Amino acid sequence: MLIDAVIFDMDGVIIDSEPLHRKLDDDLLAEYGIKISKEEQLGFIGVTTGYKWNIIKKKYKLSDSLEELIRKDRELYLANLKENKDIKPIKGVDELIKFLYEKNLKLAVASSSPKNVIENVIERFKLEKYFSKFVTGDDVKNSKPSPDIFLKAAKLLKVEPKRCMVIEDSKNGVEASKNAGMYCVAFKNLNSGNQELTRADFISDSFNYILKEFRRNIF
Burial of 55: CB neighbours in 10 Å, binned 0-12, 13-18, 19+: middle
Spatial distance between the Cα atoms of 50 and 12, rounded to a whole number of angstroms = 19
Which among 142, 177, 136 has a CA at the least distance from the CA of 6?
177
Q: Which residues pair with 203 in a beta bridge?
A: 186
Instruction: Phi first, then psi: give them for residue 3, nearest 5 degrees.
Output: -120, 130
| Helices marked H in 61-206 | 66-83, 93-102, 115-124, 148-157, 171-179
Do 5 and 154 form a contact (C-beta atoms < 8 A)?
A: yes
The set of residues, in sequence order, having a beta carbon less than 8 Å from that of 162 and lying 6+ positions away, is: 181, 182
**Active site (annotated) includes residue 9:** yes
The set of residues, in sequence order, having a beta carbon less than 8 Å from that of 114 and lying 6+ positions away, is: 49, 74, 136, 137, 138
Helix, strand, coil percent values for the chain (each to nearest 5): 50, 15, 35
Which of these is catalytic: 9, 11, 73, 169? 9
Spatial distance between the Cα atoms of 42 and 2, rounded to a whole number of angstroms = 33
Which residues does the annotation mark as catalytic?
Answer: 9
